Structure 1
Amino acid sequence: MFSDIASFIFYFLLLLPVFYFVVSGFRSVLFEPRGAPVRFNRKRQKVYVYEYQRSVWPWKRWPVVIKVFDWADIQGERVQLAGHADWGHRIYCAVCKPGTYEVVDRFVLAWTVGNLRDAYGLWSHCCHYMEARPVPKNPLLTDKPADWTPFRTVRWPSDVERESTTATGMM
């Protein structure tokens, strides 16, 4: 009798982490947007980043945090990845203290692209847009990643939606 209860407790404790990782994995695959959506507002010289703040508990709600940065404080960083499933070049935006290169925050501008020319071209495209210089009419990256789930929706709060898409008015 005691060995049955002990083996049940042992297997339950063994399966608990498996259950945790399965629930976390399904939640991030089905509901979390791919990457952090970013909006550039040239008139305000602001960059808006939409990020999920994951919780340790997969069944708890993951709040959305909207971060707003000044364009003048952002530096581009290119990182080359050489992993099994993730290889190529990734562009990060490092947010620095004004007038310095001390990084206070960082977000992903573009997930992995396989071509160095495309990575630099994407950063150049963003710089040209924000500095009101001519931007190429043809899209830089034409392939749209397959998003097979309808649950990955990005819903900007209405006040941030208005601020990030207009030239005047404050939040």
Structure 2
Amino acid sequence: MDEVSDPHFTLKDISPPPNHVGDVYLEFPRATLILRGVLALLGIPALLFLFGLTLWLYWNVFSYGWTREWMMYVMLVIGPIVWFGSIFSFVKLDLMLPRDEPIRFNRLRRKIYLYQYRFNYFYLFSRKHWGVKPVAYNWDDVTAEVYRVYAPGHGGLIENVMLSVRNPETNEVIDRVLFTSSLYRGEAYWAIARLFMQQGPEALPKFVHPPRDWNDDDGLSHMHCLAPKVKWPDDIDRESRTAPSEGEAQ
């Protein structure tokens, strides 16, 4: 794990730029899936094939009964079901993941707010384990790290920038979330976030590219348009966009 160092490039050219820059908070776009729709387009035909294969295997077992190769039949019946569940979870993630998973940096509250989508491959139909569950952390407990993984067949070297949240008392990492899937963008975003949190919006450059509203379908792919729009819960939306009131506990 390598801590992100100060970048040596022009921050104003970053694309996409922050969603919002104001006196109180800064918001970055984020996406945990780079190629939206690929999992669904490949997975749905596979699901139909496995569903048909499972029906055919069950039909043969119940039509002709068990034979001395009954163990083979068990494996043939269970195997497609396991594969069906695995592929279904990937397809569901592709279809249900929000079109944007923004991160807000509130400089007056000294906190960051993550529009975090949680999922679990084992509990496919559980509302508890699937869905948007925003979280907030203290800015001083957050660090950015680079994770380098060599993945043959996936473009070689993969460099993700992660945000690690540490317990200030034990220095133990209590959460780790994806910041960007690009080292260049991750360094730029982190530099912008630090400037904003330490010096305020006046320290930021005037960005060349205009911000976009990810809830607006204009310019998005068809698969992105099918994805759920960003909707923060009212209480955390209000908190993440405002300064603390006088006497408010932090």
Q: Could you tell me how far 1:92 is from its partner in structure 2?
A: 1.3
Q: How does 1:45-64 map to 2 (within 5 A)?
A: 45-55=110-120, 56-61=122-127, 62-64=130-132
Match of 2:195, SS state, is helix
Taking the aligned partners of 1:139 and 1:119, their CA distance within structure 2 comes to 18
Taking the aligned partners of 2:131 and 2:207, their CA distance within structure 1 comes to 36
- 1:3-35 per-position Cα deviation (integer Å, ceiling 9, x unaligned): 37x576543212101210121111011111367
Taking the aligned partners of 1:105 and 1:73, their CA distance within structure 2 comes to 11
Contact 2:99 2:227 in 1 (8 A): no
Taking the aligned partners of 2:176 and 2:99, their CA distance within structure 1 comes to 17
Q: Could you tell me how far 1:162 is from its partner in structure 2?
A: 0.5
- Let me know the Cα RMSD of the aligned residues: 3.3
What's the counterpart of residue 92 of structure 1?
162
Are residues 15 and 99 of structure 1, via their aligned partners in 2, closer, same or farther at CA, if it must alter by over 3 Å? closer
Q: Which residues of structure 2 form unaligned runs of 5+?
A: 1-63
Moved over 6 A (4+): none
- 1:20-61 per-position Cα deviation (integer Å, ceiling 9, x unaligned): 012111101111136743111112111011223323222332
Q: How does 1:10-49 map to 2 (within 5 A)?
A: 10-33=75-98, 36-49=101-114
Contact 1:91 1:123 in 2 (8 A): no
Contact 1:74 1:96 in 2 (8 A): yes
The structure in which a higher percent of residues are strand is: 1
- 1:93-122 per-position Cα deviation (integer Å, ceiling 9, x unaligned): 111222664322222221x2154xx43222
What's the counterpart of residue 9 of structure 2?
none
Q: Percent identity?
A: 25
Q: Which residues of structure 1 form unaligned runs of 5+?
A: none
Select the structure of larger CA radius of gyration: 2
Higher relative CO (CA 8 A, sep ≥ 6), structure 1 or 2? 2
Taking the aligned partners of 1:139 and 1:162, their CA distance within structure 2 comes to 29
Contact 1:89 1:114 in 2 (8 A): yes
Are residues 49 and 34 of structure 1, via their aligned partners in 2, closer, same or farther at CA, if it must alter by over 3 Å? same
1:153 aligns with 2:229: yes
TM-score normalised per structure 1: 0.78
Contact 1:35 1:108 in 2 (8 A): no
Contact 1:42 1:132 in 2 (8 A): no
What's the counterpart of residue 75 of structure 1?
143
1:108 aligns with 2:178: yes
Taking the aligned partners of 2:177 and 2:100, their CA distance within structure 1 comes to 9
The structure in which a higher percent of residues are helix is: 2
Taking the aligned partners of 1:139 and 1:91, their CA distance within structure 2 comes to 23
- 1:98-148 per-position Cα deviation (integer Å, ceiling 9, x unaligned): 2664322222221x2154xx43222111100111340121158x9x99652
Match of 1:127, SS state, is helix
Match of 2:176, SS state, is strand
Taking the aligned partners of 1:129 and 1:65, their CA distance within structure 2 comes to 25
Taking the aligned partners of 2:65 and 2:204, their CA distance within structure 1 comes to 73
Match of 1:16, SS state, is helix
TM-score normalised per structure 2: 0.56
1:126 aligns with 2:193: yes
